Structure 1
Amino acid sequence: MATRRTDDGFMNILGLSFDYHDAAAALLSNGRIIAAVHEERFSRKKNDSGFPGQAVACCLEKAGLTAADLDWVVHYERPALKFDRVLRTAMTQPRHAFGRLRETAVDWLRDGKFEVRERICRSLGVARERVVFAEHHRAHAAAAFFCSPFEEAAVVTIDGVGEFATASIAHGRGRDIRPLMSVRYPHSLGLFYSAFTAYLGFEVNEGEYKVMGMASYGTPRLGREMLELFDLRPDGGFRLRQELFDFRWPEDMPFTQRLIDWLGPPRSPESPFRPIGDDADPDVRRSRHYADVAASVQFCTEEVILHMVRHAMERCGCRQVCLAGGVALNSVANGRIQRELGCDLFVQPAAGDAGSALGAALLQWHATPGHPRTPPLTTAHLGAEFGEADILAAIEEAFLIPARIFDTTEELYDGVAERLAEGSVIGWFQGRAEWGPRALGARSILADPRRIDMKTIVNEKIKFREPFRPFAPSVLAERATEYFELDPGGGPSSPERFMLSVCRVRPDKAAEVPAITHVDGTARVHLVERAANPAYYDLIAAFAARTGTPMLLNTSFNLRGEPIVNAPANAIRTFQWSGMDALVMGRCLLEKGEAL
C-alpha cells in the first residue's frame, strides 16, 4: 500500500488517458506501480473514451489515497498540438475545410477537449499547477522502456497518430529516453492497417486483431505490391503513398476509390468467411481473396516494423528492444522480431493508448532529479480485485446458489481440472484484473486444448464471434518447449509472459492440442510461472496431472463486443448469457446443471 505524500521526496503521480479511445488511469507511488486500470472495465462500454473517473477511484482506493494526496496528474498527450494537426489537415482541402473544421470545433467544444486541464481539476479537485501534459509518443516510449528490465534499449513506438507523430525511435538509457527519429502524419503504419481493417469489414480500433486471424487463411500474393506503397528511409523511418487512403476524417471510410479499383469491393461486415472449400463456390472465392488481402497487409506491416526495429538497434548499438503503440500488439510481428533479429524484446502489455496513462506518469517520475529507476513490470495483474464477501454478495443478488464452495484451493484446482478434462467450458475469475487487452488467468474462459471441437464451441456458443478467430494456450513455462518452438528463457518480462508473441507449434504436438493450434500451425503462447500467478499455475498443473497436457485453452472472459469482465456481477451475467458450463469465482463454483 502507498503512503501519503511527505516532505522527504515521496511522490504520488496519477497518469490519465481519455478523449480518444481506451481511457485509463495508472497510479505510481514513489516510483512503484500501484494500479493500472481501463475505464471500460467499469463502464462496460467497449473502448470507452470518456473521463476515467471509475478507474481513478479504483487506483486511489488500492493505494489508500485521495485525490488530495496526488502530487501530479499527467495527461497522455497535448490537446492543443492535436487540434493544431486537425486544423492543418482541414486546410489541405480548401473546398471542404470550413465545414469540416466547424464540425470538429463543435465536437471539441461539446466534449470539452479544449478544456482537459479544467475537466481534470473539476473531477479530481486538484490545483491547476499539479496537472501537466506529456507528448503522446513520449508517453508510449516511457510505458515501454521504464517498464522493461533493460538498462539500455532501442525504443520503438508505432500507432495511428498522436499529436503529429505516428511512429518514433528513441534510445533509452537509465532514467533517460533520447528521441532519435519520428514519422509524422499522414505517413502512418497504424492508419494503413486500420484502413484495411475497414476494407475487410471490421471496426477500426477494434477489429485489427481480426485481420491478423484472417491473414492466416490466405497467402500474401499482394504483399510486395503493398510494400511498394512505402518508402523505407535510411534513418529507420518511412513515408506512405497517400493516393489509396484518406485518413483525414475518422467518421469516413479511410480508403479511396483507387483502392477499390485495385482490390475490388470491400467486404461487407458480417458476411460469410469460408476460405476452405470448392473453388466453384463464389463465397469460397471471395473469402480467399479477402484472406489474401489480409495476409498481404500483415506481411507488409511486418516488413515495415522489422525495418524500423532493425535500424533502431543499429542506431542505438544494442540488442535490447522495447515496443509500444497500438501496432506493438501485433503478436505475429513480435514473433518475427524475436526470431529474425535475435533481440531481447519487451512489449508494454497495454501497448495502446491505455498504456500511455502509465507512460505519462512514468515520464513525470523520471523527470525529477534523484528519483531512482522504476522496477521492471513483471505482472499485468494491476486492476480491480474482489474478495469472497463481494463474490458471495453478487451470487446472492443474482438469486443463485453456489453449487459448491471448496474448502481448500487444492480441492478447487482438482475439481475444476476434472470438469475441464470432461469437456466443460469454465469461466475463471480470480485475483486482480489484467492490465491490457489480454486475459492472463485472472478473467479468462478456459477449456480443454486437446479437443478440436472446442474451437467451434467456444467461438460460436460461448463468445458468439467469428469462427476463424484463434485461441491462445496458457502453458506451464517449464514445459513450453515440449510443444512450442520458442526460447522460454526471456525472463518474467518477456512477451510470452504477457501473450504478446506468436510462435510455431511443434509438428509432432499439433495433433495433441488442436484447439489452440491455428490454421497456419502457430499459437500465441502464454507462459505461466507460479511466481506470477500461483492460482492459475496450480490449476494448469492439476490439469496436467490428470491428462498429461500441461496447458489450457485460454480466451478473454467476455462476450463479443463487450469489455473483459471486471466485477463478480459482470462474470455472472456473462456466464448466464453464454454457453459456459461453469463459473469459478474465488473458491465458489456455479454450474448450470445444478445451480441455475
Structure 2
Amino acid sequence: MYVLGISPDHNASAALLKGDKVIVCVSEERFNRVKNYFGIPKKSIKFCLDFAGINASSLDLVVVSSQIPPPLPEWGFENKTSINLYRFLKSIYSFLIDQVEWRFPPMRSMNEFIYSLVSKAMKGSINRERIRKLREIVNVSDDKFYFLDHHTNHAVTALYGAPYLSEGVQEIVILTADAEGDGLSSTVSIFKDGQLKRIGKTSLNNSLGNFYSAITKFLGMKPGEHEYKVMGLAPYAPKEDTQKVYEIIKNWITVDEKNLQFKTIVNAHQFLKLCHLKLSDKRFDHISAAAQKLLEERMLELLQASIKRTGIKTVVASGGVFMNVKMNKLIAEQREVERFFVFPSCGDESNAFGACYFGYKTLNTNGTPAPIKDLYLGPEFTDKEISKLIRKMKGVKINIPKNIEYEIALLLSKGEIVARFYDRSEWGARALGNRSILADPSNFSVIEKINKMIKNRDFWMPFAPVILDEDKEKYLKYLSNSSGDYMMMAYDTKDTSRDEMVAAIHPYDKTARAQILQKEFNPKLWEIMNYFRRLTGRGVLLNTSFNIHGEPIVGSPRDAIDVFQRSGLKYLAIGPYIISKV
C-alpha cells in the first residue's frame, strides 16, 4: 500500500506512507529555498516517489490537506470563471469584515453565513481545478484524489502520530488550533470505541491563533512565522505590568465551555485594528507577556472543559498554536492530564503525515498506522556527491578523520562551534542534529559568537539544548507524561546543573526547549555527545538549526557549503569530512 499525503498550505510538504508507516516526508522550502513556501510541493512530491522507487501508478490514494485553499496563481485558476467568482465573493466578504462589521457588530453572524455559503458552493469547482493541476504532477485517476478537511487532518495527525494507540490506550482527547483552515480555527474531538468524533469547533472568525498573529504583527514582526519571538519576549515583563495589559485584553477571547469553543469580542481578522486602538501606548514586552498569558489561560480552560466533559485524561494536539512550547509545558503540568503528546512541528507542514494516516484508514479500516519515531525522513547524500562539491572549495582544509564523532566532540570540548550535515535530513522546523550547529553551552559567550557568525537572532531569543536521555533528570524538571524527543516542550531547569547549559536556556525564566536524545533515534549524534561527556563530564550540547537567519534549514550539501562560506562558521562536519577555514 502506498499513500501520498500532500499539504499545499503554509510550509507546503509531502509525505509517503508504505504499508503502515510514513517512510519519507519533506518540505518544499528545503528544495526551493523559499522559507515557509505556500503552494504545491512539486519537488517534494517527486522526491517522495523517487525515494520509494515508484511512479504515480503505484499509488493507492493521494490525500490532499484542505478542501478550500486560497486561490493562489500557482494553481492555474486565473482564467477560470468559477475561481474569479470565488475571489470576487471573498473580496466582498473581506470588505464586509473590514468596513461594515467593525461599525455594526451584529453583521458578524451574517458574514459567517456568507462565508460558509460561498465556500460550500465553490468547493466542487475549486477541487476539480485542483485535481486538474495535481494530475500534471501526480498522474492518477480522479477517484484516487481525496481532499481532507483541514482540522480533521490536524486531528488525525495527532491521533495516529502519537504512541498511545499502539500502547493500548483506547480513549483520547484531540485538540487542534491554528489561525484558520477550511472555515475553522480550533476543534475538540474524542477517539473512543474505535471512532473519531468531533465534539467542539471554533470558527475562523473566533480564532485564538489569529489573535496571537495579530499581536505578532502589531509588534512589528512577521505573522505566521515570528510568533515564537512573542513567546520568547514574554518572560521579561514584570508581573504587575503584564497584569495591567492583561486587564485590557482578557475579555477579547473567552471560552464557551458548553460548546467547547473560543469566542472573540470582535472578528478575529479585526484584532490588529483593536490592538492599534487599545494598546498603542503600551510597552512591547508587557504586550507580549499579556498575550502569552491570555493564550495559555484560554487554552487551559478549553482543555479542562474537554476533560471534564469526556472524563478522558489522555490528550494529543496539533496545529500551529501548539508550536508554543511554553503553553505546552503548562498543559503537561495540569493534574488532570495523564498523558500529553504534541505532534512535532505541528503547523500545516505536519498535515502531510495526517493525510497519509487518513489514507491508510480509508484503505484499511481495521488497521492502525504506525506512530512516528525519529524524524530523519528527508534526503541523504553519498560521500561521492559530497566529495565532488568540496573539491571545488578554496581557502579550506579538508580532513577525513578515522573517528569523526570523536573529533567533533573534541572540537566542541575546546570551545569550537561545529556545523553538522549528516545522513538523512530531519523533517520539520526543529533541527535535531543532522542539519544542526553544535556548541558547548557551558560558555555563555558562545551565544554572541553564534549570532555574529550566522544566526543574528533577536537579543531576547534563547538557543536550545540537546540532552542525553540518561542525563535528562540531571538538567531538567522532566515531565514524564509527555515526550521530549522533538523539541516541542519547554522545561524548568535545575539550579544544580544550570551552569552547564547556560547558553542554551532562556536567560530570564531559565526554561529550556530541550531535545531529549535517545540513542536509538540518532546513534551517531549520541556518540558525539557521549564522547563530549567523557571529555567534559557534561551530557548536553547547544543545538541550533543550520541556516542563516531568515532562510530555510540547509537541505543539500550545496546548501551547507554555501551557508558555511557565506557565514563566519569555522568548522563544517559534512559526511565523512571535517572542513575548516584557513
Report the TM-score, using the length of structure 1 for normalisation.
0.85
Cα distance in 1 between the residues matched to 2:579 and 2:172: 47
- The aligned counterpart of 2:277 is 261
Are 2:562 and 1:549 aligned? no
Matches for 1:347-496 after TM superposition, within 5 Å: 347-398=342-393, 403-407=398-402, 411-487=403-479, 489=480, 494-496=482-484
1:92 matched to 2:78? The reply is no
For residues 211 and 445 of structure 1, what CA distance do their matches in structure 2 show?
A: 24
Taking the aligned partners of 2:301 and 2:395, their CA distance within structure 1 comes to: 55
For residues 380 and 172 of structure 1, the distance between their equivalents in structure 2, rounded to whole angstroms, comes to 25
CA shift at 1:156, angstroms? 0.1
The equivalences for 1:181-220 within 5 A come to: 181-219=200-238, 220=242
Between the aligned partners of 1:459 and 1:520, the Cα distance in structure 2 is 21
Correspondence 1:509-588 to 2 at 5 A: 509-518=497-506, 519-588=508-577
Equivalent pair of 2:421/2:573 in contact (CA under 8 Å): yes
CA 1:405–1:171: 2 relative to 1, 3 Å: same
Task: State which drifts further: 72-81 or 506-515.
Answer: 72-81
Q: Is the 8 A contact 2:465 2:501 kept in 1?
A: no
- What is the aligned counterpart of 1:234 among 254, 257, 264? 257
Deviation at 1:400, TM superposition (A): 7.0
Give the drift of 1:40: 0.3
CA distance in 2, matches of 1:79, 1:135: 8
Shift of 1:305: 1.4
CA RMSD of aligned residues (A): 2.5
Post-superposition CA distance 1:140-190 (Å, at most 9, x none)? 001110111113310000000011110000012475321111001200011
Select 1:149's aligned residue among 152, 163, 172. Answer: 163
State the shift of 1:96 in Å: 8.5
More divergent stretch after superposition (419-428 vs 88-97): 88-97
Counterpart CA distance in 2 for 1:175 and 1:449 is 46
**1:417 maps to amino acid:** A
Structure 1 residue aligned with 2:489: 501
Report the CA distance shift for 1:317/1:81 in structure 2 as closer, same or farther (over 3 A).
Answer: farther
Name the aligned partner's letter for residue 295 of structure 1: A
TM-score (norm. length: structure 2): 0.87
Residue 91 (structure 1) shift: 6.7
Partner letter of residue 191 of structure 1? N
Q: Percent identity?
A: 30
AA partner of residue 132 (structure 1) = Y
Alignment of 1:57-206 (within 5 A): 57-79=46-68, 86=90, 89-90=93-94, 92-93=96-97, 115-151=129-165, 152-173=171-192, 176-206=195-225
Q: Does residue 292 of structure 2 align to residue 298 of structure 1?
A: yes
Kept after mapping to 1: 8 A contact 2:11/2:349: yes
* 1:379 to partner: Cα distance: 1.1
Equivalent in 335, 357, 367 of residue 329 of structure 2: 335
| Equivalent-residue separation in structure 2 for 1:66 and 1:116 (angstroms) | 20
8 Å contact from structure 2 (residues 406, 528) kept in 1 = yes
Q: Which runs of 5+ in 2 are unaligned?
A: 72-85, 102-114, 166-170
**Partners in 1 of 2:137 and 2:554 — Cα distance?**
25
For residues 292-322 of structure 1, the C-alpha deviation after alignment (integer angstroms, 9 at most, x for no partner) is 1111111110111112222222333222111
Distance (Å, rounded) in 2 between the aligned partners of 1:480 and 1:94: 50
In the alignment, structure 1 segments of 5+ residues that lack a partner are: 1-10, 248-253, 266-285
3-state secondary structure, aligned to 2:181: coil
Change in CA separation of 1:80 and 1:34 when aligned onto 2, cut-off 3 Å: closer
- Write the distance in 1 (CA, Å) between the matches of 2:313 and 2:137: 44
Secondary structure at the residue paired with 1:255?
helix
Asked if the contact 2:67/2:127 (under 8 Å) is kept, the reply is no
**Residue deviations 1:110-136, cap 9 Å, x none?**
xx9872111111122222221110000
1:198-224 per-position Cα deviation (integer Å, ceiling 9, x unaligned) = 011110111111111111211332234
Distance 1:96 1:54, change over 3 A: farther
Greater mean deviation of Cα atoms: 456-465 or 164-173: 456-465
* Alpha-carbon distance in 2 for matches of 1:225, 1:96: 24
How many corresponding residue pairs?
535
The answer for the alignment partner of 2:3 in structure 1 is 13
Other structure's SS at 1:205 match: coil
Counterpart residue type for residue 92 of structure 1: L
Deviations 1:237-288 (A, max 9, x none): 2201117x635xxxxxx611x42232116xxxxxxxxxxxxxxxxxxxx8xx
What residue is the counterpart of 2:83 in the other structure?
none
